[in-house]
Amino acid sequence: GAVVSQHPSRVICKSGTSVKIECRSLDFQATTMFWYRQFPKQSLMLMATSNEGSKATYEQGVEKDKFLINHASLTLSTLTVTSAHPEDSSFYICSARGRGVMEAFFGQGTRLTVV
Amino acid sequence: AQKVTQAQTEISVVEKEDVTLDCVYETRDTTYYLFWYKQPPSGELVFLIRRNSFDEQNEISGRYSWNFQKSTSSFNFTITASQVVDSAVYFCALSGLSGGYQKVTFGTGTKLQVIP
C-alpha cells in the first residue's frame, strides 16, 4: 500500500503552547487528507477533511480556530493545535487518499501529551 | 447517517484458534464501501480490506477471510489459526456515497488478544 508518514510520533508540550503535526504522503499525491482524534480505548473520530488548496471542512464540535489545518501541497498537510490544554492530550492520526482511489492510507499517529 | 457497530469489545483466544470479529453497519446509502483496519499497539492503522456494497462475494486472503452479508448488514472478519502477531485492535469502517465517500465512520473497535 501507499506510504503516509506522520511526524512527530510523540510530543509533550506545555499548556498554552502550540504544536504542529505533519502528515506527508511519500509515494502518491494526496488530493484529500483527513485528521482523526482517538481517545484511549475509543474509536477514531474524524476532526476535519482537507482538499489540497482549499480550506478544511471541520466536523461538528471541532474548533477550527484551535485545530488549524493546512493542506498546502499534494503531499503535505499539517495540524496545529493552538494554545494546547491537557484535555487536548490524545492520539492524532492522519490519513491520505489519492484522486480516484477509495482507500485512505494512515500515518503512524502522533501521541500528544499536554502538561 | 452512518453507523458501525462492533459489539465485541475484547476477545481473547489461544494461539491457533480461529476467531471471528463481528461488524454490523447502518447506512441509507445504496452504494457504500466497507473496510477493515488493524491497529497494532504501535498505533498506526493498517488497511486490510475494502468491499464494495455491490460485491457480496466473500474473500479470503491467507489466514484472513471476510463474510459480507448484505441481508443482515454485516461484514464479519475471521482469522484462521490465529497467531500472537494478530494481537491488535481491529476496526470496521463504512464510507457512503452520500458523503462523497469522504467521510469514513469507524466502529469502536475490537481488541483481539492472542495468547501463546
Residue of B nearest to A51 (CA): B102
3-state DSSP assignment of residue B79: strand
Percent of chain B at pLDDT above 90?
75
Within 10 angstroms of residue B105's Cβ, the number of other Cβ atoms is 22
Cα gap A103→B51, rounded to integer Å: 10
3-state DSSP assignment of residue B86: helix
Between B33, B43, B102, which is nearest A32 by CB? B102
B107 contacts A42? CB cut-off 8 A = no
Q: For B36-77, write each residue's pLDDT tens digit.
A: 999 998 888 888 998 999 988 888 999 999 999 999 999 999
pLDDT > 70? residue A1: no
Tell me, yes or no, if B7 comes closer than 8 A to chain A by beta carbon: no
Q: For A7-51, write each residue's pLDDT tens digit.
A: 999 999 999 999 999 999 998 898 899 999 998 878 899 999 998
Q: How many residues are listed for chain B in this entry?
A: 116
Mutation target vs A (from B32, B35, B44; most A CBs, 10 A cutoff): B44
Q: Which residues of B touch A111 (CB under 8 A)?
A: 43
Q: Please state, rounded to an integer, the average pLDDT across all residues of chain B.
A: 93
Interface of A with B in 68-97 (CB under 8 A): 91, 93, 95
